[in-house]
Amino acid sequence: MPHKPPTQEELEKRKIVGINLETVTDVSSSDFPGHYPGEDHAWDIERFKQGFSVEFHQNDPHEASFSLIGIHASIANAFRRIMIADVPTLAIETVFININTSVIQDEVLAHRLGLIPFTGGREGLTEFIKWFKKPAEGEEPNLKDFNTVELALNVKCEHNENADPNETDPTKLYHHAHVYAKDIVFRPIGRQVDHFSGENTIRPVNPDILIAKLRPGQEINLTMHMHKGVGSDHAKFSPVATASYRLMPTITITEPILGRDAEKFQKCFPKGVIGLEKVTAKEAAQKGSGYEGHEGELKAVVVDPKSDTVSREALRHEEFKDKVKLGRRRDHFIFLVESTGQWKSDAIFVESVAHLKMKAKSLEKQLVNMVR
């Protein structure tokens, strides 16, 4: 007997992970060769192009939200991991402490400085600054203008002679009672002046990051070297504060939910997910719709499933158990990328695509060399 081709409804159903009151069903993908008799699920580039799309929901310099639709979880997770660990940034790597009489230990101070995110001219950071090769034991470091950025911090706390005798606020009693990221000074070397000057100068993303608190007589005097690195070496090099994704929620109302039940149903979800609309005369006149005799009453409709947190609250109420189905679409990934400031949030994703392509080419080259 010839295999009957699946309907569009059946194909969409295969993409849904079922969310029940206490269980999750259909968690594994089934669109692979041999699973469905008579169906060809071999990967095809043209089929992928037709089914894949990218939709941006928010695109700000420090935060972006977008959807990748029509890809496998392994690829989505590869993008996430690359954004966290493989996209390079510039961060403080070495701290030369001349004077530190603050209450913060040298190593803790160096660690705090390393975690401060910096920004600067885009072209200079990505094109001009190259990788720094750490010297072998006994060798002098090869410090150049294209692989090292120098910063300095020189702050001394002193009494404010103009302060009110009754003043108790340390920031008014003393000069430099608080040491902030804005106190760090960039010292350009060689050609760095051409790439990092004016609005492109290397500077902290947030100038008000607190580094230390001083009191009269205490002083911090140090020099720092910045190098390019990746998050897989140290978290300070990660270009993102967070890069995460979640599956697109699905909410299917299988039977009409009307009146007060509709209002109660709306409260089971985050604001904006479920809307209330009046039953139209056309709907009330349609036989079998479930709206017969309810013209003008409020009905529950799905407005924005993307904003749902899938709390399953609706399934905890007996009156809704058989009227709604919850799920997540396994090939629709909603990403949230928060940049630390050195890269624009959308550029981090674009760079992750380039890195994955480079990794794939490297693997291809190794496979070719293996079979020779």
Q: What is the pLDDT of residues 315-343, one digit of tens each?
A: 999 999 889 999 999 999 999 999 999 99
User: Is the same domain home to 264 and 231?
Assistant: no
Domain contains 2:
no
Instruction: Among 190, 210, 237, give the residue marking a domain's end.
Output: 237
Distances (CA, A) of 233 to 70, 85, 229, 238, 343: 32, 8, 7, 9, 18
User: Is the same domain home to 95 and 214?
Assistant: yes
Domain contains 188:
yes
Instruction: Among 174, 209, 237, give the residue marking a domain's end.
Output: 237
User: What type of residue sits at position 117?
Assistant: P
Residues forming a β-bridge with 291 = none
Tokens 């109660």 locate to 264
pLDDT of 218 above 90: yes
- Alpha-carbon dihedral 13, 14, 19, 20, rounded to 10 degrees: 80
Domain contains 183:
yes
pLDDT of 195 above 60: yes
Mean pLDDT along residues 6-23: 89
pLDDT of 1 above 60: no
Domain contains 329:
no
Concatenated DSSP letters for 152-168?
EEEEE-EE-TTS-TT--
